[in-house]
Amino acid sequence: MPAEQLRRVNLAYLGFDGRTHRGDLVVAQDLVADVVDVFAELYRQRYPIARMQTVDRYPGAVDEASMRDNNTSAFNCRPLPSGRWSLHALGRAVDVNPLLNPYVSGRDLQPATAGAYLDRSRREPGMLHAGDASVDAFVTRGWRWGGDWRLPKDYQHFEKR
């Protein structure tokens, strides 16, 4: 995606400490209003977010480091295993609390430190589950949730094509 079609959005979010914080997401220009609305709704719901910063804040912009840090992020210039660009590289996907909401496909777990959160019967603040108001904040606006996928399961991931 050309950089001129991406926008940095500064958002308020509720931290796990119960306090208001501000963070940045980079998303496609046409999704800015959606992202602002979704995160305003999550804030109203008091859905906690561990942190929210762009992945370039991590050494080498390493996705695994960002996920291990439970960092909510959007734009990330990374390819899919097929070689095509991911929707993150197009600014059309957001990962929310990725440590608590891991990606799992067979033995592939991302982040690798998220094993305790494979038990989706756990109901802890910041975890995402089908039917949660936090998931619905995205889905009712036309976003797809990776937790609804058969394989892989990507509990952190929301996308809008």
Tokens of 43: 């804030």
Q: pLDDT value at position 61? A: 61
Range of the domain at 146: 3-159
Total number of domains constituting the chain: 1
Confidence of residue 63 (pLDDT cuts 50, 70, 90): confident
Phi, psi of 4 (to 5 degrees): -70, -10
% of the chain surpassing 90 pLDDT: 86
pLDDT digits (tens, 9 = 90+) for 71-88: 999 999 877 778 888 999
Q: Can you tell me which residue has the tokens 């804040």?
A: 57
* Dihedral angle, C-alpha 161, 47, 78, 69, nearest 10 °: 180
How far is residue 22's CA from residue 143's CA, in Å, rounded to a whole number? 23
Q: pLDDT value at position 142? A: 98
Smallest CA-to-CA distance from 110 within 154, 52, 55 is with 154
pLDDT digits (tens, 9 = 90+) for 139-160: 999 999 999 999 999 999 999 9
Domain CATH code at residue 15:
3.30.1380
Mean pLDDT of 107-113: 95
Alpha helices by DSSP H, listed for 26-93, are: 32-45, 63-68
How far is residue 38's CA from residue 141's CA, in Å, rounded to a whole number? 8
Q: Can you tell me which residue has the tokens 């892989």?
A: 152
SS3 of residue 145 by DSSP: strand
Cα 125 to the center of its chain, rounded Å: 15
Torsion sign, CA atoms 51, 98, 111, 82: negative
Mean pLDDT of the chain: 95
How far is residue 15's CA from residue 126's CA, in Å, rounded to a whole number? 10
Instruction: Specify whether the CB–CB gap between 62 and 90 falls below 8 A.
Output: no
